[in-house]
Amino acid sequence: MSTFSAPKGTYDLLPPDSAGYLAVREAMAAPLRRAGYGYVETPGFENVELFSRGVGESTDIVSKEMYTLTTKGGDHLALRPEGTASVLRAALQANLHRAGNLPVKLWYSGSFYRYERPQAGRYRHFSQVGAEAVGAEDPALDAELIIMAADAYRALGLTQVRLLLNSLGDAECRPAYRAALQEFLRALDLDEDTRARIEINPLRVLDDKRESVQRQLTGAPMMRDHLCTACEEYHERVRELLTAADIVFEDDPKLVRGLDYYTRTTFEFVHGGLGSQSALGGGGRYDGLSEMIGGPALPSVGWGLGVDRTVLALRAEGVELDLPAGTDVFAVPLGEEAARTLFSLVTTVRRAGIAADLAYGGKGLKAAMKAANRSGARYALVAGERDLAEGVIQLKDLASGEQRPVPADALVSELTRLLG
């Protein structure tokens, strides 16, 4: 055992569990690729100000949860706590928005970091798949992204995912609502930190999960009652498109999510089997974020889906993913000459697109066959001196136990036929 262990609130992802995580990532990424989203990868750390401007200084993410550091050169950096600000920064830096083909559609996958109290479904290092459509204001884009996320959960076999939907208005109608909400909240019995939040971003108080706060919010003014005509029409169009695509959703007037940059469409996917950390992922429209970080006006929309929490949801529902076998063929050499021959054959088999492995270290037949069975392979290739002299390899079906000789020069074609 090592002297060291993974830092508190983090985890190592190892086989066989890692195969499930990869399958979840692929299920989330597949609909994005089909819809023309291109892959983007950004650094694991960024300038602190990117997040304080974009995510919002009043958010817990920036004020309490960000990992920050100062370099020897005096630069103030932060491990990325979320993906949207980084992806938008990268798109602006590369001038993707000037190519004339808007929206710019991007997707990403990676690790993110927040200093939080570790618990089931909430880690200090976590994995997400995200998508952003940059540079267009169109309810069809909002609906497209929501549909693709819902389809990903369906493809994984999840049946207990709920979609919550809201609109947060825009620069025209939000100021009046903000003033009305502040007036209501100032009359409540709230702690000092929450009262300070009322003045910075009162919508975040609606997102407070404490029962002592939620109990007092009965009768609070809701954004849906203050939407301007344009925002009402926009939100209704999103709802119509989702309904036409057979996406079931619930209107949640208190849904604001934890980031300051959201406008208009806001949504969240939740699962009842995750306890208090019920959110699987979510997102929304962020039409003003580009300007917040020094770019031009670029209306945009996106989401981030938690890989870790989706895996927990699959376990909660008892869903077993149909994972491809890591190994189709396992070679068992009996002797040094057979080891050299089967090593060459395994290389040829792999180049033919078949997953193959070999018993290394001079294992005896019994130990090598145990390794073959543990690998999950469907077939074993067994060869000794007599087999080599006859120019054959013994092909053994590990499920039935049936074994037969196959000419060595016909082995690849036979395996291709058997494995389809």
C-alpha to C-alpha distance for 388 and 139, rounded to whole angstroms: 67
CA 215 to chain centre: 33
Q: How far is CA 16 from CA 22, 90, 318, 357, in A?
A: 11, 34, 17, 16
Tokens of 379: 């077939």
- Output the CA torsion 53→59→60→62 (10° steps): 0
**Residue 240 annotated as part of some ligand binding site:** no
Three-state SS string across 257-303, please? CCCCCCEEEEEEEEEHHHCCCCEEEEEEECCCHHHHCCCCCCCEEEE
| Cα within 13 Å of Cα(287), Cβ side | 18
**Residue 257 annotated as part of some ligand binding site:** yes
Neighbours of 282 (CB within 10 A): 24
C-alpha to C-alpha distance for 281 and 262, rounded to whole angstroms: 15
C-alpha to C-alpha distance for 115 and 217, rounded to whole angstroms: 28
C-alpha to C-alpha distance for 146 and 150, rounded to whole angstroms: 6
C-alpha to C-alpha distance for 4 and 7, rounded to whole angstroms: 9
**Residue 59 annotated as part of some ligand binding site:** no
| Cα within 13 Å of Cα(309), Cβ side | 27
**Residue 243 annotated as part of some ligand binding site:** no
C-alpha to C-alpha distance for 255 and 375, rounded to whole angstroms: 47
**Residue 128 annotated as part of some ligand binding site:** yes
Tokens of 403: 């074994």
**Residue 137 annotated as part of some ligand binding site:** no
Q: DSSP string spanning 64-85?
A: II--EEE-TT--EEEE-S-SHH
**Sheet harboring 125-134: ordered strands across?**
38-39, 104-113, 125-134, 300-306, 279-285, 263-271, 161-167, 250-251
Instruction: Return the ∠ at Cα 302 (arms to 39 and 315), rounded to 5°.
Output: 80
**Residue 114 annotated as part of some ligand binding site:** yes
CA 261 to chain centre: 20
Mapping DSSP to helix (H, G, I), strand (E, B) and coil, where does residue 155 land? helix
Q: Which residues are annotated as a binding site for L-histidine?
A: 82-84, 114, 128, 132, 257, 261-262
Q: Which residues are annotated as a binding site?
A: 82-84, 114, 128, 132, 257, 261-262
